[in-house]
Structures are given as C-alpha cells and as structure tokens.
Amino acid sequence: MKKPKIIVARSAGFCFGVRRAIDLAEKTVGRRRRIYTLGPLIHNPQEVKRLCSNGIRSIKNPARLRGATLILRTHGIPAPLMEKLRQRKLNIVDATCPFVKRAQDIVKRLSGGDYHILIVGEKTHPEVVALVSYGGKLCNVVENKHELSGLKLGPRVGIVSQTTQTPENLKEVLDRVRRQRPRAKIYNTICRATIDRQAEARALARKVQCVIVVGGKNSGNTRRLAEICSRYTATYPIETASEIRPDWVKGVRAVGITAGASTPDWIIHDVKDKIINIYE
C-alpha cells in the first residue's frame, strides 16, 4: 500500500509563551532546590511529567511552602492569590504568558474605569478565572453569543477575550453586543500565535483526507484546532502516538498533523514516526 504524504503544520507545537515558560523552568533547575509549579505549568500532561522527572513538581496548594521556588503557570493566577504569595518567603518565578498579562492589565484598567466587563472565554479555564479576579464586581464571562441573552449590560461596556479563543466566536459576540452598546470598548486579546495556527489548521484540513491534532485533552486551544479541522475532514484528537489507529491513515493520500500550543516537538515527531511505521 502506498505511503501517504504527511504534512505537519508549520506552527504546530510550542507557542512563544509556552516556550518561554519551559525555558524559565529549565533554567531554574540546578540553581534552586525544591522547585514547584502552581498547578500544571502548561496544559500538556506528558511535558508536565517530563518536568517532574527533572525535579519540578506540580502542586495545587502552596499554603505550606516555605523557602521554596514557585513557578507560576503560563495561564496566570488570580490577583488575590498573587498578593498572598508575595507575602511569603518564596522565590517566585513568574512564567505567565506576556499576552495573558496584557489581557489582565486591560481588565484591571477597565475595572478602574467603572466598565461592565465582558470576557469571551471558557468560564472554568485557569486563564479566565485569573482574568475575572481583575474585573471587580461588574464582570461576566460569556462562552458564546447565546449567553448574552438575558444579560443586562451596563451603560459602559468593555470586552476582552481569552487569548486562545477563535476570532469567529469573538466576532459573533461583538456583533451582538454592538446592537445594544455601539460604543463598547473592544480589545482583541487573542494572541497572534493562536490566530496563525488556527488559520493553518483550516488550510491544512482542506487539502488532506484526515488530520491528527496532537495535544493535552485539558488544552482549550488544542480542542479548538480539532473543532476547526473537523469542519473540513476526518479529525482525530490525541495526546500521544500510542492512540493512533492504523485504519485512520491507511488508504489516504495525505495526512495532516497539527498540534496545540503546549505540545512539545518530541511528541509531534513520535506521531509522525508512528504513521510511517504503520506503512513500513
């Protein structure tokens, strides 16, 4: 059987913010003892496990930590928790993505201006939970345009987005808000890396017979890549190469591979090798 063409999306894998966080974590190893991350540093279980093998452990509750090094995750943490951590004798390494920090600063500024803040994103995602903490009392999270129904908007409205949302979803929310508040302040805080990889995923899915989307099942941006690809072709979201089934790729002319922003290169290479091995 003829081996299919394998096309890997150019931007598949680590984005700038994730690469920066991993670099910060790895530079800390050897210089510090007792290194922890507050929650998973990134949304990829396999990479988190690799970091753990190098002495960087993920914890949920830092209450008992004293004299340790604590690395803050890429998604950021709520403002009240940040204040508590600063009062302790901890060596804090802030790996919050700069694009997430920008969104936090905007929300804080809008809150100080008495705006009714709308955050377009997933309510339980760590990034959004942190954003809400900067928003004060007049702050709501909407996951899509339908959740605007019945929501009473204040006279001054400011809108930001989770950095990994799709531009299409944000636009649908904005279009509906503008009908009531045409002067709403709008900040497109979707990061450029997200926009680029979503566009690449769309183009890739249109020219192959199937796409394998690689990334943590807890990764929102990976889920959205899979949703985009599934509109155009057979799509299989996986975390590791071991999940690939031979019948997915046998008999197809071209296979696409893309990956979420927290997926390391070594997992992407494993996926490509697994497809090749199926044919060999």
Residue 179 and residue 245 in one domain: no
Q: Which of 165, 186, 207 is the last residue of a domain?
A: 186
Residue 20 and residue 78 in one domain: yes
For the chain, state the CA radius of gyration: 21
Residue 76 and residue 45 in one domain: yes
Percent share of the chain, pLDDT over 90: 86
Q: Is the pLDDT of residue 126 over 80?
A: yes
What average pLDDT does the segment 55-72 reach? 88
Residue 203 and residue 165 in one domain: no
Q: Is the pLDDT of residue 51 over 90?
A: yes
pLDDT of amino acid 227: 96
Q: Which of 79, 96, 113 is the last residue of a domain?
A: 96
**CA 272 centroid distance within chain:** 23
**Beta pairing partners, 139:** 117
User: In which domain, by residue range, is 103 found?
Assistant: 99-186
pLDDT of amino acid 137: 87
Residue 82 and residue 106 in one domain: no
Q: How many domains does the chain have?
A: 3
Residue 152 and residue 207 in one domain: no
* Residues 82, 129: Cα–Cα separation, whole Å: 13
Q: Which of 68, 96, 124 is the last residue of a domain?
A: 96
Residue 203 and residue 179 in one domain: no
pLDDT of amino acid 280: 74
* Residues 15, 12: Cα–Cα separation, whole Å: 8
Where does the pLDDT of residue 3 fall: very low under 50, low under 70, confident under 90, or very high at 90 and above? Answer: confident
Active-site annotation holds for 243: no
Residue 197 and residue 181 in one domain: no
Residue 182 and residue 105 in one domain: yes
Where does the pLDDT of residue 1 fall: very low under 50, low under 70, confident under 90, or very high at 90 and above? Answer: low
CATH number of the domain bearing residue 212: 3.40.1010.20
Which of 141, 137, 69 is CA-nearest to residue 103?
141
Name residues whose C-beta falls within 8 Å of residue 224's C-beta, 6 or more positions apart in sequence. 164, 165, 166, 198
Residue 91 and residue 103 in one domain: no
Residue 113 and residue 45 in one domain: no
pTM, entire model: 0.90
pLDDT digits (tens, 9 = 90+) for 87-106: 887 899 999 999 999 999 99
What backbone torsions phi and psi does residue 114 show, to the nearest 5 degrees?
Answer: 60, 40
In the chain, the DSSP E strands lie at 5-8, 35-38, 56-59, 69-72, 91-94, 116-120, 139-142, 157-161, 185-186, 210-214, 234-238, 254-259
Q: Which residue has the higher pLDDT, 11 or 3?
A: 11
Q: Is the pLDDT of residue 33 over 80?
A: no
Residue 124 and residue 137 in one domain: yes
Choosing from 47, 127, 200, 239, the catalytic residue is 127
